[in-house]
Structure 1
Amino acid sequence: MSLLLTNYNLDFVEDNNDSLGGQLQLKLHAKDEQHHTDATRDLAHAMYVHRPYDPQDETESLQSGLWYKHGRFCEFLFDESNGEPSIILRERAGVAIKGGRDLDRIDIPYKLQFEGVVTPTTCSEFMQAMRDSELVKARRDANNAAALASMNAPRKYMGTV
Protein backbone atom coordinates (compact mmCIF):
# COMPACT_ATOMS: atom_id res chain seq x y z
CA MET A 1 0.00 0.00 0.00
CA SER A 2 1.45 3.35 -1.05
CA LEU A 3 0.40 6.58 0.59
CA LEU A 4 -0.16 10.08 -0.74
CA LEU A 5 0.96 13.03 1.38
CA THR A 6 -1.83 15.59 1.73
CA ASN A 7 -2.46 18.86 3.54
CA TYR A 8 1.12 19.41 4.62
CA ASN A 9 1.70 22.69 6.36
CA LEU A 10 4.94 24.20 7.58
CA ASP A 11 4.81 26.79 10.37
CA PHE A 12 7.32 28.67 12.48
CA VAL A 13 6.66 28.46 16.21
CA GLU A 14 8.29 31.37 18.04
CA ASP A 15 10.34 30.57 21.13
CA ASN A 16 12.39 33.32 22.81
CA ASN A 17 14.45 30.73 24.69
CA ASP A 18 15.66 29.14 21.45
CA SER A 19 18.94 30.33 19.91
CA LEU A 20 17.32 30.52 16.46
CA GLY A 21 14.17 32.25 17.74
CA GLY A 22 11.89 29.24 17.42
CA GLN A 23 11.31 25.97 15.67
CA LEU A 24 9.91 24.86 12.35
CA GLN A 25 6.89 22.62 12.71
CA LEU A 26 5.61 20.38 9.93
CA LYS A 27 2.03 19.11 10.06
CA LEU A 28 0.91 16.55 7.51
CA HIS A 29 -1.75 14.01 6.62
CA ALA A 30 -1.87 11.03 4.28
CA LYS A 31 -4.35 9.16 2.09
CA ASP A 32 -4.30 5.63 0.78
CA GLU A 33 -3.48 5.86 -2.94
CA GLN A 34 -5.85 3.07 -3.94
CA HIS A 35 -8.91 3.69 -1.74
CA HIS A 36 -8.45 7.45 -1.12
CA THR A 37 -9.23 6.94 2.58
CA ASP A 38 -7.37 8.67 5.39
CA ALA A 39 -4.09 6.88 6.10
CA THR A 40 -2.45 9.35 8.46
CA ARG A 41 -2.22 6.72 11.21
CA ASP A 42 -0.48 4.34 8.77
CA LEU A 43 2.06 7.03 7.86
CA ALA A 44 2.63 7.90 11.52
CA HIS A 45 3.29 4.26 12.31
CA ALA A 46 5.77 3.97 9.41
CA MET A 47 7.56 7.13 10.55
CA TYR A 48 7.67 6.08 14.17
CA VAL A 49 8.81 2.49 13.83
CA HIS A 50 10.49 2.86 10.41
CA ARG A 51 8.48 0.17 8.65
CA PRO A 52 5.10 -0.03 6.90
CA TYR A 53 1.96 -0.17 9.00
CA ASP A 54 0.75 -3.61 10.05
CA PRO A 55 -2.61 -3.68 11.91
CA GLN A 56 -1.49 -6.80 13.81
CA ASP A 57 1.59 -5.00 15.19
CA GLU A 58 0.18 -1.74 16.57
CA THR A 59 2.27 0.00 19.22
CA GLU A 60 0.74 1.92 22.10
CA SER A 61 3.73 4.27 22.07
CA LEU A 62 2.51 5.71 18.76
CA GLN A 63 0.48 8.49 20.41
CA SER A 64 3.54 10.62 21.09
CA GLY A 65 7.20 10.20 21.56
CA LEU A 66 10.66 11.37 20.78
CA TRP A 67 11.80 10.35 17.35
CA TYR A 68 15.50 9.92 16.70
CA LYS A 69 16.90 9.62 13.20
CA HIS A 70 20.45 9.91 11.91
CA GLY A 71 21.78 11.63 15.03
CA ARG A 72 19.35 14.53 14.86
CA PHE A 73 16.35 15.01 17.11
CA CYS A 74 12.87 16.22 16.40
CA GLU A 75 9.67 15.90 18.36
CA PHE A 76 7.12 13.54 16.90
CA LEU A 77 3.44 13.81 17.77
CA PHE A 78 0.51 11.87 16.39
CA ASP A 79 -2.66 13.75 17.25
CA GLU A 80 -6.26 12.57 16.91
CA SER A 81 -7.76 14.99 19.46
CA ASN A 82 -9.88 17.04 17.05
CA GLY A 83 -11.27 13.99 15.24
CA GLU A 84 -8.89 14.38 12.32
CA PRO A 85 -5.59 12.54 12.73
CA SER A 86 -2.45 14.55 12.00
CA ILE A 87 1.28 14.12 12.31
CA ILE A 88 3.40 16.91 13.74
CA LEU A 89 7.17 16.93 13.37
CA ARG A 90 8.85 19.80 15.19
CA GLU A 91 12.44 20.79 15.76
CA ARG A 92 13.58 20.35 19.31
CA ALA A 93 14.37 23.69 20.91
CA GLY A 94 18.01 24.47 21.46
CA VAL A 95 19.41 21.59 19.41
CA ALA A 96 22.31 22.91 17.37
CA ILE A 97 24.35 20.90 14.91
CA LYS A 98 27.72 22.43 13.94
CA GLY A 99 26.38 25.88 14.69
CA GLY A 100 23.08 25.41 12.84
CA ARG A 101 20.02 23.24 12.84
CA ASP A 102 19.42 20.61 10.20
CA LEU A 103 16.17 20.29 8.28
CA ASP A 104 16.24 16.50 8.39
CA ARG A 105 12.58 16.12 9.34
CA ILE A 106 11.66 17.38 5.87
CA ASP A 107 13.61 14.45 4.38
CA ILE A 108 11.65 11.86 6.37
CA PRO A 109 8.98 11.26 3.67
CA TYR A 110 11.79 11.07 1.09
CA LYS A 111 13.40 8.23 3.04
CA LEU A 112 10.02 6.48 3.43
CA GLN A 113 9.62 6.53 -0.36
CA PHE A 114 12.45 3.98 -0.62
CA GLU A 115 10.63 1.68 1.79
CA GLY A 116 7.55 1.78 -0.44
CA VAL A 117 5.45 3.67 2.10
CA VAL A 118 5.07 6.94 0.17
CA THR A 119 4.58 7.19 -3.60
CA PRO A 120 7.47 8.76 -5.57
CA THR A 121 5.14 11.34 -7.19
CA THR A 122 3.67 12.64 -3.93
CA CYS A 123 7.13 12.65 -2.36
CA SER A 124 8.50 14.71 -5.24
CA GLU A 125 5.62 17.21 -4.94
CA PHE A 126 6.16 17.44 -1.19
CA MET A 127 9.92 17.99 -1.52
CA GLN A 128 9.38 20.72 -4.14
CA ALA A 129 6.84 22.50 -1.91
CA MET A 130 9.29 22.37 1.00
CA ARG A 131 12.18 23.65 -1.14
CA ASP A 132 10.01 26.55 -2.35
CA SER A 133 8.84 27.44 1.17
CA GLU A 134 10.02 30.83 2.42
CA LEU A 135 10.29 29.37 5.94
CA VAL A 136 12.69 26.67 4.75
CA LYS A 137 14.77 29.22 2.83
CA ALA A 138 14.95 31.47 5.90
CA ARG A 139 15.96 28.54 8.12
CA ARG A 140 18.68 27.49 5.67
CA ASP A 141 20.02 31.06 5.71
CA ALA A 142 20.03 31.01 9.52
CA ASN A 143 21.80 27.62 9.48
CA ASN A 144 24.43 28.90 7.04
CA ALA A 145 25.04 32.03 9.12
CA ALA A 146 25.37 29.96 12.31
CA ALA A 147 27.73 27.51 10.58
CA LEU A 148 29.92 30.36 9.27
CA ALA A 149 30.02 31.96 12.72
CA SER A 150 31.02 28.60 14.19
CA MET A 151 33.78 28.08 11.60
CA ASN A 152 35.17 31.58 12.11
CA ALA A 153 35.13 31.41 15.91
CA PRO A 154 38.57 31.61 17.55
CA ARG A 155 40.06 28.21 18.29
CA LYS A 156 42.01 27.28 21.37
CA TYR A 157 44.93 25.07 20.45
CA MET A 158 46.46 22.71 22.96
CA GLY A 159 50.14 21.77 22.87
CA THR A 160 53.16 23.35 21.26
CA VAL A 161 53.26 25.29 18.04
Structure 2
Amino acid sequence: MDEKLDEGEKWETVIDKKTNSLSYKAKCCRPKNKPLKYLSTTVFEGCSPELLRDFYMDNNYRKQWDKTVIDHVQLQMNTTNGIEIGCTIKKFPLLTPREYVLAWRLWEGKDRTFYCFIKECEHPSAPRRKKYVRVGYFRSGWQIRKGKCLIYLSNSN
Protein backbone atom coordinates (compact mmCIF):
# COMPACT_ATOMS: atom_id res chain seq x y z
CA MET A 1 0.00 0.00 0.00
CA ASP A 2 3.01 2.26 -0.09
CA GLU A 3 3.32 2.15 -3.90
CA LYS A 4 6.30 -0.21 -3.85
CA LEU A 5 5.73 -2.12 -7.06
CA ASP A 6 7.30 -5.46 -7.94
CA GLU A 7 10.22 -5.11 -10.32
CA GLY A 8 9.56 -6.61 -13.71
CA GLU A 9 5.83 -5.85 -13.62
CA LYS A 10 4.61 -3.47 -16.28
CA TRP A 11 2.33 -0.78 -14.84
CA GLU A 12 0.44 1.64 -17.03
CA THR A 13 -1.21 4.87 -16.00
CA VAL A 14 -5.00 4.68 -16.29
CA ILE A 15 -5.84 8.16 -15.04
CA ASP A 16 -4.05 11.17 -13.60
CA LYS A 17 -6.38 14.09 -12.77
CA LYS A 18 -6.15 17.11 -10.47
CA THR A 19 -8.39 19.88 -9.22
CA ASN A 20 -7.64 22.55 -6.61
CA SER A 21 -8.72 20.28 -3.74
CA LEU A 22 -8.35 16.74 -5.12
CA SER A 23 -5.97 14.64 -7.17
CA TYR A 24 -6.46 11.08 -8.38
CA LYS A 25 -3.94 8.73 -9.97
CA ALA A 26 -4.56 5.12 -10.98
CA LYS A 27 -2.19 2.52 -12.38
CA CYS A 28 -2.97 -0.93 -13.77
CA CYS A 29 -0.91 -4.11 -14.14
CA ARG A 30 -2.01 -7.13 -16.16
CA PRO A 31 0.34 -9.97 -15.10
CA LYS A 32 0.20 -13.21 -17.04
CA ASN A 33 -1.74 -15.99 -15.28
CA LYS A 34 -2.58 -13.74 -12.32
CA PRO A 35 -5.46 -11.42 -11.46
CA LEU A 36 -5.50 -7.85 -12.71
CA LYS A 37 -3.97 -5.33 -10.28
CA TYR A 38 -4.85 -1.68 -9.69
CA LEU A 39 -3.15 0.92 -7.55
CA SER A 40 -4.84 4.24 -7.01
CA THR A 41 -3.91 7.23 -4.89
CA THR A 42 -6.31 10.03 -4.06
CA VAL A 43 -5.17 13.18 -2.28
CA PHE A 44 -7.82 15.31 -0.53
CA GLU A 45 -7.32 18.80 0.87
CA GLY A 46 -9.30 20.05 3.86
CA CYS A 47 -10.45 16.63 5.08
CA SER A 48 -9.56 14.75 8.27
CA PRO A 49 -8.52 11.08 8.16
CA GLU A 50 -11.51 10.23 10.40
CA LEU A 51 -14.01 11.96 8.08
CA LEU A 52 -12.64 10.19 5.01
CA ARG A 53 -12.62 6.82 6.82
CA ASP A 54 -16.26 7.25 7.85
CA PHE A 55 -17.25 8.31 4.33
CA TYR A 56 -15.38 5.46 2.67
CA MET A 57 -16.80 2.81 5.02
CA ASP A 58 -20.46 3.92 4.82
CA ASN A 59 -21.84 1.35 2.38
CA ASN A 60 -25.43 2.53 2.73
CA TYR A 61 -24.48 6.10 1.80
CA ARG A 62 -22.39 4.74 -1.10
CA LYS A 63 -25.65 3.57 -2.72
CA GLN A 64 -26.61 7.26 -3.05
CA TRP A 65 -23.47 8.53 -4.80
CA ASP A 66 -21.91 5.44 -6.46
CA LYS A 67 -24.08 4.75 -9.50
CA THR A 68 -22.59 1.24 -9.91
CA VAL A 69 -23.95 0.07 -6.52
CA ILE A 70 -27.43 -1.43 -6.83
CA ASP A 71 -27.63 -2.83 -3.30
CA HIS A 72 -25.60 -3.50 -0.18
CA VAL A 73 -26.54 -5.65 2.81
CA GLN A 74 -24.49 -5.95 5.99
CA LEU A 75 -24.40 -9.68 6.81
CA GLN A 76 -22.27 -9.88 9.94
CA MET A 77 -20.24 -7.75 12.32
CA ASN A 78 -17.88 -9.28 14.85
CA THR A 79 -17.21 -6.72 17.58
CA THR A 80 -14.49 -8.92 19.11
CA ASN A 81 -12.10 -9.02 16.15
CA GLY A 82 -13.55 -6.16 14.05
CA ILE A 83 -14.27 -8.29 10.98
CA GLU A 84 -17.37 -7.35 9.00
CA ILE A 85 -19.06 -9.18 6.13
CA GLY A 86 -21.34 -7.67 3.53
CA CYS A 87 -22.91 -8.39 0.16
CA THR A 88 -22.83 -5.73 -2.55
CA ILE A 89 -24.44 -5.88 -5.98
CA LYS A 90 -22.82 -3.71 -8.65
CA LYS A 91 -23.94 -3.03 -12.21
CA PHE A 92 -21.40 -2.00 -14.80
CA PRO A 93 -22.29 -0.98 -18.36
CA LEU A 94 -22.79 -3.91 -20.76
CA LEU A 95 -22.22 -6.55 -18.05
CA THR A 96 -24.43 -8.81 -15.97
CA PRO A 97 -24.59 -7.39 -12.40
CA ARG A 98 -21.74 -8.55 -10.16
CA GLU A 99 -22.26 -9.85 -6.64
CA TYR A 100 -19.49 -9.31 -4.10
CA VAL A 101 -19.59 -11.14 -0.76
CA LEU A 102 -16.71 -9.55 1.09
CA ALA A 103 -15.11 -9.66 4.51
CA TRP A 104 -13.13 -6.67 5.74
CA ARG A 105 -11.29 -5.45 8.75
CA LEU A 106 -10.54 -1.82 9.51
CA TRP A 107 -7.95 -0.76 12.07
CA GLU A 108 -6.08 2.31 13.21
CA GLY A 109 -2.31 2.37 13.17
CA LYS A 110 0.06 5.08 14.34
CA ASP A 111 -0.52 8.80 13.88
CA ARG A 112 -4.22 8.58 12.88
CA THR A 113 -3.43 6.26 9.94
CA PHE A 114 -6.25 3.87 9.04
CA TYR A 115 -5.95 0.58 7.19
CA CYS A 116 -8.49 -1.78 5.69
CA PHE A 117 -8.07 -5.21 4.12
CA ILE A 118 -10.91 -6.69 2.08
CA LYS A 119 -11.29 -10.15 0.53
CA GLU A 120 -13.98 -12.36 -0.92
CA CYS A 121 -15.70 -14.93 1.27
CA GLU A 122 -18.78 -17.13 1.47
CA HIS A 123 -21.58 -16.57 3.95
CA PRO A 124 -24.72 -18.65 4.67
CA SER A 125 -26.89 -15.53 4.40
CA ALA A 126 -25.68 -14.94 0.83
CA PRO A 127 -26.46 -17.99 -1.30
CA ARG A 128 -25.52 -17.77 -4.97
CA ARG A 129 -28.20 -16.35 -7.26
CA LYS A 130 -28.45 -17.03 -10.98
CA LYS A 131 -29.23 -13.43 -11.90
CA TYR A 132 -25.79 -12.23 -10.69
CA VAL A 133 -22.21 -13.18 -11.43
CA ARG A 134 -20.52 -13.93 -8.10
CA VAL A 135 -17.03 -12.43 -7.97
CA GLY A 136 -14.86 -15.34 -6.92
CA TYR A 137 -11.55 -13.61 -6.27
CA PHE A 138 -11.18 -10.14 -4.76
CA ARG A 139 -8.37 -8.65 -2.68
CA SER A 140 -8.14 -5.00 -1.81
CA GLY A 141 -6.43 -2.89 0.77
CA TRP A 142 -6.30 0.77 1.53
CA GLN A 143 -4.59 3.25 3.76
CA ILE A 144 -5.77 6.70 4.83
CA ARG A 145 -3.15 8.97 6.33
CA LYS A 146 -2.62 12.62 6.97
CA GLY A 147 0.13 14.26 4.96
CA LYS A 148 1.35 17.81 4.91
CA CYS A 149 -2.10 19.46 4.95
CA LEU A 150 -3.41 16.63 2.76
CA ILE A 151 -5.18 13.30 3.21
CA TYR A 152 -4.00 10.34 1.15
CA LEU A 153 -6.17 7.39 0.25
CA SER A 154 -4.14 4.61 -1.31
CA ASN A 155 -6.18 1.73 -2.63
CA SER A 156 -4.87 -1.39 -4.29
CA ASN A 157 -6.59 -4.53 -5.53
Task: Tell me, yes or no, whether TM beats 0.5.
Answer: no
TM-score (norm 2): 0.31
TM-score (norm 1): 0.30
Structure with the larger helix share: 1
